[in-house]
Structure 1
Amino acid sequence: MASLVLFNGAKTQTGFLGIVCLSAKANYSTDVPSWYRPIKATNTAQFKRGPGGRSSFSGIVATVFGCSGFMGRYVVNKLGKQGSQVICPYRADSAEVQHLKVMGDLGQILFHPFYLKDEDSIRKAVKYSNVVINLVGRDWETKNFPFKEVHIEGARRLARIARESGVEKFIHVSALNADPHPKPILYDGGSKFLQSKYYGEQAVREEFPDAIIFRPADVYGQEDRFLAYYGHFWRRFIRLVPLWHNGEKTIKQPVYVGDLAQGIVNAIKDPDAVGQVFQAVGPRRYLLRELVDWFYRVMRKDEDWGYIRYDARFDPTYKLKAAFTEAIQISFPIGNFHRERLEREYVTDVVEKSVPTLEDLGVNLTFMEDQVPWELKPHTAGMYYNAEIGEFAKPAPPKVLA
């Protein structure tokens, strides 16, 4: 026979097998701690698991639009390195993104065809994602994709569909110096690229108010359009390099692409980054002439080689060459040498003290003096020559502005 008794204030039942608890007081606090965040995912496959690394799962399912571009491979690699699942939308041949497959564990890097003007394909690409990253951009306009369609309407479409699909975080990459009325330097009206980037930010904010926006300066790295631009033979006139005002009125603060990619990944995990704008700039500022002179010293193309820098204002063929390049090769201008690139080349990087930078996201910035010599190796004169140790003196670094 069993009977009910009270044991320490809890109802219990006694019987042949001893005391069995029927109900007990709560042995935990009913107050919600400050660090608590509710679980939004109902699918257990999305829960974080593993000790970390590529063979774990971070809980992040990210769709990276623009993954096939220069910046995309670094972002996908950073995400894959921490065990995230990455959806890589592509609009051309799938072979152009297959190199991304090895950046994550088996089944973690997935591919999906999409078209920037096709909303159904975009919805399918973000359907299961909790993070969407927009790296889509154009350095020059084409017939099918002018700046307005890519940087404004395209960005608006991605942000709107991400919000409608329940995406938690939307990260948009804009540009430093984005301005609705850019100051003209070489061409009337100023840079259309920077103007469209400004209105692209406004469009993203309207559709996804909590979007995280990055404004990078000139980005350098493997196969970039900054170092490769100055190292390309088409940028110079034989061995002469023209710069507007001899490069003495332009200040640059380039950022390493790996630092930018790390900042994007850190922003995903930082709850305080929601709705913020971050300036992606390097740790040091330089005059353009100092940078270009240093690039050519690193490439062993100094004065002895025949390098001469001069003022482009006194060379009427300078702008004609850019127009000629666009006329003969519309899709991909030779050496990225075109009118829009020339206009942006001489825009001084303005860094606002009130706007946070990559350092506020915990990124240890890379110094150009440590990274650029490696990146410029493919452009070095006599690159197949096996130099003896100490045969060539270490080139003097560029002067840093205070």
Structure 2
Amino acid sequence: MILLRVQRSLALAPGKRVRAYHDLITLPGAGGKPVPVVSHGPPGYSAVSGHTVTGRYLVSKIAKMGTQVIVPYRDEDEARHLKPMGDLGQIVPMEWDIRSDAQTAECVRHSDIVYNLVGRDYETKNFDYNSVQVSGAERIAAVSASCGVPRLVHVSHLNASDSSPSAFYRTKAQGEARVREVFPEATIVRPGTMYGFEDKLLNDIAVSPWWWKLNQGKTKIRPVHVLDVAQALADLMPTAYPGRTLSLPGPSTLTHAYLLDLVSAVTLRSFHSYAPEIPRAAALLFASLVQRVWWPMISPDEVLRRYINDSDAASSWEELGIRPAEVEGLALKYLRRYRTTDTFTDAVAFPARPELVSSRPCEK
């Protein structure tokens, strides 16, 4: 979750600044009373945009605009890396528990926009899907409304649906409905499966390719770059599209088999030598057992999601003025680290270049 405070400025010359009409933004406040937001200071990280936001990639985007960002955290170490993304005092970490209305109110009460980025990819004994993505989302929205926060951006998922066989997708849809009930003007954002440095898409395929052979690799998804989604969320600061639902899928629909081939080609590793597809029942049984014993490699619900095609919902990118990037142009950036010297001596990976698997140059 991110809370935001924003200000803008116009610098005419070093040490000289003036305020103009574009430095003033009027936001709806509690009880319909307008709230003025005035920006000042030099542009960039040291600017004061006048906004306060509650809610890694998004923090960097909005901090660069001169926004004061409140970052609620459960573990202090998890928020520490965000501090250098803004000037002194611009990134404000605050301890937070999703079950505490008092802590939530303390985090959001000074903000003029709240980004709810909280989600649970798999269930644990302390937090299941419902407590985080349904009642948790409702609590954040209700507390934000009671504190007079004028704007709320709730991040869901492209496949959110009440009729989905996946509990993850069902609770995403239920969370959206609860948020709408208590905060009707909230903006719902539905991104597709995201990829980036810490993703669970390209990295997972590189580390555990066999899990992506489920459904014979025929499942279709619409992967989207995390920085494109972050930019879209940052652009919602001045105009939040109140009451709207925005879908942000990737620009292309790709199969898991295609992504396996892409990752294999970029990492110079052959995935074709791995065991054939794991039967669905066996995959579900294995995931259930592993989840009970230790931290899950893959949860049973994730296994179900491997069989669900991404929604064909119309894209909102054009309306936001953003052209999302294709995964092929960025795959090397995120997967280069998985290349090893062993790949250059792999006869399967280099079938057409036998000289790469011949004796070493120093050997006679």
TM-score, normalization by structure 2: 0.81
User: Structure 1 residues 318, 52: CA separation in 2 closer, same or farther (over 3 Å shift)?
Assistant: same
Which of 230, 234, 239 is 2:205 aligned to? 230
Q: Who is 1:362 aligned against?
A: 321
Q: Who is 2:147 aligned against?
A: 165
State the shift of 1:38 in Å. Answer: 4.3
Which of 353, 366, 371 is 2:330 aligned to? 371
Letter aligned with residue 382 of structure 1: T
Q: Who is 1:396 aligned against?
A: none
Which of 60, 73, 91 is 2:51 aligned to? 60
Residue 268 of structure 1: SS of its match in structure 2? Answer: coil
Alignment of 1:257 onto 2:226: yes
* Distance (whole Å) between structure 1 residues aligned to residue 26 and residue 204 of structure 2: 48
State the shift of 1:101 in Å. Answer: 0.4
Give the conservation status (yes or no) of the 8 Å contact 1:242–1:309. Answer: no
Give the conservation status (yes or no) of the 8 Å contact 1:246–1:312. Answer: no
User: Structure 1 residues 175, 121: CA separation in 2 closer, same or farther (over 3 Å shift)?
Assistant: same
Alignment of 1:205 onto 2:196: no
* Distance (whole Å) between structure 2 residues aligned to residue 143 and residue 326 of structure 1: 11
Which of 326, 339, 344 is 2:300 aligned to? 339
Alignment of 1:174 onto 2:156: yes
State the shift of 1:160 in Å. Answer: 0.6
Which of 206, 213, 225 is 1:243 aligned to? 213
* Distance (whole Å) between structure 2 residues aligned to residue 51 and residue 384 of structure 1: 50
Letter aligned with residue 291 of structure 2: E
* Distance (whole Å) between structure 2 residues aligned to residue 319 and residue 201 of structure 1: 28
State the shift of 1:161 in Å. Answer: 0.7
Q: Who is 2:4 aligned against?
A: none
Letter aligned with residue 56 of structure 1: A
Q: Which moved more, 1:290-299 or 1:146-155?
A: 290-299
Residue 244 of structure 1: SS of its match in structure 2? Answer: helix
User: Structure 1 residues 98, 284: CA separation in 2 closer, same or farther (over 3 Å shift)?
Assistant: same
Q: Who is 2:260 aligned against?
A: 292
**What count of residue pairs does the alignment treat as equivalent?**
322
Which of 262, 277, 293 is 1:328 aligned to? 293
Give the conservation status (yes or no) of the 8 Å contact 2:25–2:36. Answer: no
Q: Which moved more, 1:337-346 or 1:143-152?
A: 337-346
Residue 104 of structure 2: SS of its match in structure 1? Answer: helix
Letter aligned with residue 47 of structure 1: V
Q: Who is 2:311 aligned against?
A: 350
* Distance (whole Å) between structure 1 residues aligned to residue 28 and residue 309 of structure 2: 44
Provide structure 2 residue ranges, at least 5 long, that are not aligned to the other structure: 1-20, 345-349, 353-364
Alignment of 1:80-91 (within 5 A): 80-91=63-74
User: Structure 1 residues 135, 287: CA separation in 2 closer, same or farther (over 3 Å shift)?
Assistant: same
Provide structure 1 residue ranges, at least 5 long, that are not aligned to the other structure: 1-32, 65-72, 183-189, 386-390, 394-402
Letter aligned with residue 202 of structure 1: A
Q: Flag the structure with larger Rg.
A: 1
State the shift of 1:45 in Å. Answer: 10
Q: Deviations over 1:348-378 (max 9, x none)?
A: 112223xx52332122311111111111122
* Distance (whole Å) between structure 1 residues aligned to residue 238 and residue 351 of structure 2: 45
Alignment of 1:3-402 (within 5 A): 38=26, 47-64=38-55, 73-92=56-75, 94-182=76-164, 190-233=165-208, 236=210, 243-248=213-218, 250-270=219-239, 273-302=241-270, 307-308=273-274, 310-313=276-279, 317-329=282-294, 332-334=295-297, 337-353=298-314, 356-382=315-341
State the shift of 1:58 in Å. Answer: 1.9
Q: Who is 1:10 aligned against?
A: none
Letter aligned with residue 93 of structure 2: F
State the shift of 1:60 in Å. Answer: 1.8
State the shift of 1:39 in Å. Answer: 6.4
* Distance (whole Å) between structure 2 residues aligned to residue 392 and residue 371 of structure 1: 26
* Distance (whole Å) between structure 1 residues aligned to residue 309 and residue 104 of structure 2: 36
Letter aligned with residue 172 of structure 2: K
